[in-house]
């Protein structure tokens, strides 16, 4: 792939290793987004810095886990706000 300097085989290997997840066309061709290309460049940089594929995979798994936890905590906060507003409306409706 000319944008990354990687061979098609290397890119497929990263996909097989579940480091990238390109979408597929109706004819099952891989469609790489700019985010996919950015991730491939990040992977190359991390490998140049001496990280193993196993370490890179763990890095992305931890990143995804943090992202999920952030979303869950925001949802909890939204639920708390709704509950507080509902309680306040209940109290005001009594007067």
**Residue 31, SS3 per DSSP:** strand
Output the pLDDT for position 80.
76
Distance linking the first and last C-alpha atoms of the chain: 69
pLDDT beyond 90 at 52: yes
pTM: 0.64
Query: How is the chain split into domains, by residue range?
Result: 1-51, 59-95
What is the distance between the alpha carbons of residues 76 and 73, in angstroms, rounded to a whole number?
A: 5
When the pLDDT of each residue in the chain is averaged and rounded to a whole number, the result is 85
Domain 1-51, architecture per CATH: Orthogonal Bundle (1.10)
What is the distance between the alpha carbons of residues 47 and 14, in angstroms, rounded to a whole number?
A: 12
């Amino acid at each position: 792939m000319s944008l990354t300097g990687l061979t098609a085989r290397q890119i497929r290997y990263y996909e097989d290793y579940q480091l990238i997840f390109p979408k597929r066309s109706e004819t099952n061709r891989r469609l790489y987004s700019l985010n996919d290309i950015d991730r491939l460049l990040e992977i190359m940089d991390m490998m140049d810095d001496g990280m193993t594929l196993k370490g890179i995979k763990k890095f992305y798994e931890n990143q995804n886990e943090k992202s999920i936890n952030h979303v869950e905590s925001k949802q909890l906060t939204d639920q708390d706000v709704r509950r507080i507003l509902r309680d306040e409306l209940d109290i005001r409706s009594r007067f």
